[in-house]
A and B are shown apart, each in its own frame.
Chain A
Amino acid sequence: MLYYGVFWLTIGLVNIVVQNLWFGTDLTTAFLSAFPFFALYPILGASIWFIIKYNSLEEKDLYWVLLYHLIAGSLLNAIWLYLGFIFIKLVDESYLQILYDSLPNKIFSGYVMYTIYVMFFYTINYYQSLKEKIQKEAELKALIREAELNALKSQINPHFLFNSLNSIASLTLSAPEKAQEMVINLSRFMRYSLQHDQDEAVSLADELENIKLYLSIEKVRFGKKLNPVFDIEEGCHRCQIPNMILQPLFENAIKYGVYEATSPVSITTTCRIKEKHILICIENDYDPEAIRNRGEGIGLQNIRQRLSLIYGSADLLKLTDNKTSFKVELLLPKTIPA
């Protein structure tokens, strides 16, 4: 903004000086002829910025944009000429004649200036959004990295991994075929995130398949204490969701719900289509007497950040604590914006 003012002030002053020294125009005339172009128009022209901000070339039809600019340009031109007229009248009425003589010229140069401004601002706007986009992509990449890392960490989370291995050790003695099944499930679960670490989007079906694997492994450990319930509406399965966004939520449900409980805990997952959105709801019971710091962990923060970067909206994740159960709701658009 400051640069903009300084720029036009300098150009205006240079113009006056040149007119005065080169063409011998007296200072008043030089000032009066320079003022509308280098002071008045830049002030009005600043508003063009807002015009183009709401008329980005990518989002609207080209004809509409052209029509819009024609109207806006004409309006601006009229205001400009009128203000110029008032200004000259205030300073020295005798110059009005010069204005009348050059009116067609002025109108024409008004449109030329409008066009130059618009093109200039579009360039700046384009440059800015490009920069923003690059930055956003970099941020998103960093967050996916972090999610990957968290997913890997949770797999080698000592409680999960070593307790699972201990369960397997126990099963090899009592029920070898179950031990085999668990080793296979554990391998499939660990392989999933290695496979998908490059893709941003996965189908809900794939993601749920992975969650079921995870829960089946935990089910071996926790037995009847863990009771997973799934209620998935037909048609949800094909929806695309960001990868590794569900697993941390289930991990929390296990950590705060099942781990602290002595009686059975249900983890209920429901998916519903809501017009253009898909609503994923994960609810777990928990023991209200178990005192644990329930701060928003790194996992939840990462999910929030990723959702707001991908969908451009910060309130897609909702947490509700009902004192005996904890509910996480994810309301996601059916498709992931490119």
Chain B
Amino acid sequence: MKQTLKALIIEDEELARNLLKSYLKDHPSLELIGECENGFEGVQKINELKPDVVFLDIQMPKITGFEMLELLDHKPEIIFTTAYDQYAIKAFDYNAQDYLLKPFSKERLLKAIDKVQERIDKGERSTNRLEQLNTYAVEEYLDRIVVKDRHKINIIPVDQVRYIESLDDYVLIYTQDGRHMKQKTMKYFESNLNPRDFIRIHRSYIVHIEDMAEIQQYEKESYVVILKDKTKLKVSKTGYKKIKESLHF
């Protein structure tokens, strides 16, 4: 038997929302439980209403659709709706169920919903698949990192990051005013931060070059990096090589 799908729209343009709503209006097995104008609202509503499927725009004010996904506790099925296909590969990395290019037809939308429904009916829910995120470089380096601390969403410009430390499945991002936890891999940051500014000096550390004050040898062939605020971080052999290459000494 077909389950009724709970759906949420996250889209900043009113006319685009209206179009989606009118397409969904008389769908027999889909119930629209809410709509949001930006990613901040999106995080809140998804965690609160726990929809089965989310229609998500990518380019939105404050935070992008991708950044919003990184902040979710509850992971629904995602159908991206966007005007531009430069994100197609990235969306695929985020395990999007489907990817609709605006303007799209009602038939195309219904097909996307059918696919989602089929998967859900078969019990193939992709709840935790969002975590195996893309590990290879996207076309541009990150200029900001979005984190959620309790109930507040923080946008950290990458130039405020001092260093990143790995912690099991998470990373700790250290800035001037504290640290933030995020569910991402070191590999992700290593390939998505500009290597001109950040070096992976150790399995557990990525350092902002600007914040490095000193490199000290404390044993034969082992080094520590001392940051401007006196924090000491271990450097691995390959890490030392990378520092040497990047700072040319």
> A residues engaging B (CB < 8 A)?
158-159, 161-163, 165-171, 173-174, 220-223, 259-262, 287, 289-293
Distance, CA A166 to CA B19, complexed state (A): 8
B117 close to chain A: CB less than 8 A: no
B37–A262 touching, CB < 8 Å: yes
Given A159-B59, A162-B103, A262-B62: A167 touches B83 (CB 8 Å cut-off): no
Partner-contacting stretch, out of B8-16, B162-170, B207-215: B8-16
A173–B16 touching, CB < 8 Å: no
Across the two chains, which residue of chain B brings its CB closest to A178? B15
Given A165-B103, A289-B155: A260 touches B16 (CB 8 Å cut-off): no
Q: Which of the residues B61, B103, B143 comes within 8 Å of A169, measured between beta carbons?
A: B103
Q: Which of the residues B13, B62, B85 comes within 8 Å of A290, measured between beta carbons?
A: B62
Q: Which of the residues A168, A221, A262, A291 comes within 8 Å of B13, measured between beta carbons?
A: A221
B188 close to chain A: CB less than 8 A: no
Contact partners of B83 in chain A: CB under 8 A: 158-159, 161-163, 166
B61–A293 touching, CB < 8 Å: no
B176 close to chain A: CB less than 8 A: no
Question: Can you spell out 23 A-B residue pairs with CB atoms less than 8 angstroms apart?
Answer: A158-B83, A158-B85, A159-B84, A161-B83, A162-B102, A165-B102, A166-B102, A166-B103, A167-B13, A167-B16, A170-B15, A170-B16, A220-B15, A223-B14, A259-B61, A260-B61, A262-B38, A262-B61, A262-B62, A287-B62, A289-B155, A290-B62, A291-B157
Across the two chains, which residue of chain A brings its CB closest to B19? A170
B18 close to chain A: CB less than 8 A: yes
* A-B CB pair tally, cutoff 8 Å: 70
B231 close to chain A: CB less than 8 A: no
Across the two chains, which residue of chain B brings its CB closest to A168? B103
**Chain B 147-177 interface 0/1 with A at a Cβ cutoff of 8 Å (1 = within):** 0000000010100000000000000000000
Size band of the B side of the interface? 20 to 34
Smallest beta-carbon distance A11→chain B, Å = 55
B13–A222 touching, CB < 8 Å: yes
Contact partners of A259 in chain B: CB under 8 A: 59, 61
Distance, CA A262 to CA B61, complexed state (A): 6
Distance, CA A128 to CA B155, complexed state (A): 56
B15–A166 touching, CB < 8 Å: yes
Across the two chains, which residue of chain A brings its CB closest to B102? A166
Contact partners of A262 in chain B: CB under 8 A: 37-38, 61-62
B18–A174 touching, CB < 8 Å: yes
Smallest beta-carbon distance B124→chain A, Å = 31
Q: Report the 5 A-B pairs with minimum CB-CB distance, sorted nearest first.
A: A162-B83, A170-B19, A170-B15, A158-B84, A166-B102
Distance, CA A160 to CA B149, complexed state (A): 35
Besides A162-B84, A291-B144, 8 other A-B contacts (C-beta < 8 A): A161-B83, A162-B101, A166-B102, A166-B103, A170-B16, A173-B18, A221-B13, A287-B62
Distance, CA A93 to CA B14, complexed state (A): 100
Contact partners of B143 in chain A: CB under 8 A: 291-293
B128 close to chain A: CB less than 8 A: no
Distance, CA A292 to CA B84, complexed state (A): 19
Contact partners of B157 in chain A: CB under 8 A: 291
Q: Which of the residues A158, A174, A223, A291 comes within 8 Å of B155, measured between beta carbons?
A: A291
Q: Which of the residues A158, A159, A173, A220 comes within 8 Å of B19, measured between beta carbons?
A: A173
**Chain B 80-112 interface 0/1 with A at a Cβ cutoff of 8 Å (1 = within):** 000111100000000000000111000000000
Smallest beta-carbon distance A21→chain B, Å = 66
Smallest beta-carbon distance A287→chain B, Å = 7
Smallest beta-carbon distance A90→chain B, Å = 61
Contact partners of A293 in chain B: CB under 8 A: 143
Contact partners of B103 in chain A: CB under 8 A: 162, 165-166, 168-169
Across the two chains, which residue of chain A brings its CB closest to B17? A170
Contact partners of A291 in chain B: CB under 8 A: 143-144, 155, 157
Across the two chains, which residue of chain A brings its CB closest to B20? A170
B22 close to chain A: CB less than 8 A: yes
A287–B61 touching, CB < 8 Å: yes
B61–A261 touching, CB < 8 Å: yes
**Chain B 1-39 interface 0/1 with A at a Cβ cutoff of 8 Å (1 = within):** 000000000000111101100100000000000000110
Smallest beta-carbon distance A171→chain B, Å = 7
Contact partners of B38 in chain A: CB under 8 A: 262
